[in-house]
């Protein structure tokens, strides 16, 4: 059991498979100026979590506590925090990539990474949203400037980022085309996708044309091939931050735009997401929930690549 000065957290000492994740007792952090201590009620799990667990990615060698999505209750505030007070329900994404640590009973967040949790969703639903919805919002709205009536193609539209991006695009008034296996097409229609493409049976390059925006969640060949379905001046936004120079070179040759991005913590973006939630225009689909102690099981399920929506850890 954790004490007043400690907390339970999921940490790892080595890189590797899900089995390297262990429940440990660590020191409970204290908020500094402009920081908030959040008692975690739920924390999303994203592909970036298992990539960091296995390869270190941006974080290098462990030990570390993963997790960027958080929904919970403000436990304490640091000097100068005017926006929140203890007892407030909040959600948000910790600064990516170096602000990780939400897979624990408590986590520190900079005050501007959080906003008030909409009352129309619970902590599990709220924890499913921040990283994927900020990624989709920054890709579609901030980077692609998606406008009403434009055509958008979303790859892996039933996935974590994809199913949220589809709803954001619909809320912006776009015509939404999504790729997914045939068994997920009913789900896509349920979240407002106008046209579903079975990527196993159909080459999207043959099936789609005159698109204004492509959201590329897959990378590699998909990034480059997506450029061919754009209208002149259209844009592919890839959420895979590194890849071949061919992506940028081919875009220039075709007279279209190519952009790679990483999601960035942002209260204004979280506020926009919260507004869509409050309007009933955005809801996450929960693929599964796991108690904090079972984080390894959540990672193993996520790595199958077959889930629809989001996986969430719950903290009692």
Per-residue pLDDT tens over the stretch 229-275: 999 999 999 999 999 999 999 999 999 999 999 999 999 999 999 99
- What predicted TM-score, i.e. pTM, was given to this entire model? 0.97
CA 295, chain centre distance (Å): 17
Mean of pLDDT values over 135-164 = 98
Q: What tokens appear for 15 in the block?
A: 């890189």
CATH topology of domain 6-129+284-314: Quinone Oxidoreductase; Chain A, domain 1 (3.90.180)
Q: Report the distance separating Cα 191 and Cα 310, nearest Å.
A: 15
Find, among 131, 121, 162, the residue nearest to 309 by Cα: 162
Q: Which residue has the tokens 């997914």?
A: 180
Mean of pLDDT values over 36-58 = 98
Q: Report the distance separating Cα 99 and Cα 162, nearest Å.
A: 24
CATH of domain 132-260: 3.40.50.720
Q: Which residues contact 4 (CB under 8 A, 6 or more apart)?
A: 28
Q: Report the distance separating Cα 57 and Cα 96, nearest Å.
A: 12
Which sequence spans correspond to the domains of the chain?
Answer: 6-129+284-314, 132-260
Please report, rounded to a whole number, the percentage of residues in the chain having pLDDT higher than 90: 98
User: Which pLDDT score is estimated for 1?
Assistant: 56
Q: Report the distance separating Cα 235 and Cα 276, nearest Å.
A: 24
Mean of pLDDT values over 20-38 = 98
């Amino acid at each position: 059991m954790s004490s007043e000065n400690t907390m339970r957290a999921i940490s790892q000492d080595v890189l590797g498979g899900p089995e390297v994740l262990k429940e440990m007792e660590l020191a409970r952090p204290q908020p500094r100026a402009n920081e908030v201590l959040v008692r975690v009620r739920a924390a999303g799990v994203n592909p970036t979590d298992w990539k960091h667990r296995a390869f270190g990615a941006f974080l290098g060698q462990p030990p570390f506590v993963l997790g960027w999505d958080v929904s919970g209750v403000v436990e304490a505030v640091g000097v100068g925090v005017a926006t929140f007070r203890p007892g407030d329900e909040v959600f948000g994404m910790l600064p990516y990539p170096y602000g990780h640590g939400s897979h624990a009973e408590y986590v520190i967040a900079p005050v501007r990474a959080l906003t008030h949790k909409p009352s129309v969703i619970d902590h599990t639903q709220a924890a499913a949203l921040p990283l994927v919805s900020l990624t989709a919002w920054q890709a579609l709205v901030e980077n692609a400037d998606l406008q009403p009536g434009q055509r958008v193609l979303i790859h892996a539209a039933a996935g974590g980022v994809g199913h949220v991006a589809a709803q954001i695009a619909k809320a912006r008034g776009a015509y939404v085309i999504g790729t997914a296996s045939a068994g997920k097409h009913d789900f896509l229609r349920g979240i407002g996708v106008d046209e579903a493409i079975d990527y196993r049976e159909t080459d999207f390059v043959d099936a789609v044309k005159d698109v204004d925006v492509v959201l590329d969640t897959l990378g590699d060949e998909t990034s480059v091939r997506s450029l061919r379905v754009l209208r002149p001046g259209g844009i592919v936004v890839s959420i895979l931050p590194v890849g071949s120079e061919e992506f940028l070179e081919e875009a220039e040759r075709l007279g279209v735009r190519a952009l790679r991005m990483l999601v960035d913590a942002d209260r204004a973006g979280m506020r926009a997401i919260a507004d869509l939630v409050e309007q009933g225009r955005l809801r996450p689909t929960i693929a599964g929930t796991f108690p904090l102690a079972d984080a390894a099981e959540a990672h193993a399920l996520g790595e199958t690549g077959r889930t629809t929506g989001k996986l969430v850890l719950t903290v009692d």
